[in-house]
Structure 1
Amino acid sequence: MLPYRGSNRSGGALAWYFQRISGGIIVLLFLAHFWVLHFTIGGEITYLKVAARLASPFWKTLDMIFLVLALYHGFNGIYSIVVDYIDSDLWRNTIFGLLAFLGLILFILGATSILPFAPKV
């Protein structure tokens, strides 16, 4: 494993703060998600129960916020490691482009799972 050399770049404070803020919000959303699915719904989790929840604009909005924050948090964390350990601007920019592309693909997959969801009985 490469030793940490620190970053010679200035800035990044906003990304650092938002990484912490997004992590805290993700924990709260996860706890709410876990509470609703395992304690308030009661009984077995079925397709119809999930469909009823996802038909609500409130839950769609909450799930989309969860998706966006989780993607940002994960990919920003990976990119922070890249910035710390990779000196080449070419490699850093290439990896950033790949991460952005993968993040966009995952966002599209997640959004198409959440937004158009309608119960199929």
Structure 2
Amino acid sequence: MSVTIETPRAPQGVRRHRRFNIEKWGWIYMRASGVVLVVLIFGHLFVNLVAGEGVKAIDFGFVGGKLSQPFWQIWDTLLLWLALIHGANGMRTIVNDYANNRTLRIIFKGALLAATIVLILLGTLVIYTFDPCPAGAPADLLPSFCPAN
């Protein structure tokens, strides 16, 4: 008795409609964002911990000085967005693997999406609206780079 198996790439009688494959794009995103995150994280750690005076120099003035420069605003925004989305995508994968109940899976993914959106919005808001030199603040509490009022 002989069994014939058609080649896997043989054209089928009915062609299926191709849909957006979120698992494939999630997998690709995890690899691409992981590479970029390694560069961003090590750059962040180098500037904050190695360059300059090290850990003892990190204070309100240091952070305020960094966040007053557009380069560091973009750097920190990329770090924030990529890390949060990377982590949320990993959590989505865990929810898909371990939540067997469809309703529970939808609730978990909805909560994960809501938390990610809120954290991205709040973090981005802080990065771009942070003012290390607020008007009316006592001069002795302001960082050294603030102009005297």
Work out whether the TM-score is over 0.5.
Answer: yes
Larger radius of gyration: 2
- For normalisation by structure 1, the TM-score amounts to 0.82
Distance 2:112 2:94 in 1: 12
Q: Which of 41, 52, 55 is residue 30 of structure 1 equivalent to?
A: 41
In the TM superposition, 1:29-48 aligns within 5 A as 29-42=40-53, 44-48=57-61
Distance 2:111 2:29 in 1: 21
* Residue among 86, 96, 104 paired with 1:91: 104
- Find the aligned partners of 1:79 and 1:91 in 2 and give their Cα distance: 12
Query: Paired residue for 1:108, among 121, 125, 145?
Result: 121
What's the secondary structure of 1:27's corresponding residue?
Answer: helix
Q: How large is the Cα RMSD of the aligned pairs?
A: 1.7
**1:74 alignment counterpart:** 87
- TM-score (ref. length: structure 2): 0.68
Q: Could you say what secondary structure the match of 1:115 adopts?
A: helix
Q: Which has the higher contact order (CA 8 A, sep 6+)?
A: 1
CA deviation digits over 1:51-76, x for unaligned, max 9?
11110111111111111111111111
Deviates more, 1:58-67 or 1:32-41: 32-41
After TM superposition, where is structure 1 displaced by more than 4 Å over at least 4 residues in a row? none
Residue identity opposite 2:64 in structure 1: A
Q: Higher helix share goes to which structure?
A: 1
Superposed displacement of residue 19, structure 1 = 1.0
The offset of 1:118, in angstroms, is 2.1
Percent identical across equivalent pairs?
Answer: 33
- 1:115 partner letter: Y
Letter in 1 for 2:63: V
CA-to-aligned-CA distance 1:78-121 (integer Å, 9 cap, x gap): 11011122233322211111101111121122122211112222
CA distance in 2, matches of 1:88, 1:46: 47
CA distance in 2, matches of 1:105, 1:45: 27
- Provide the C-alpha distance between the structure 2 equivalents of 1:17 and 1:54, rounded to a whole number of angstroms: 31
**Contiguous gaps of at least 5 residues in structure 1:** 1-9
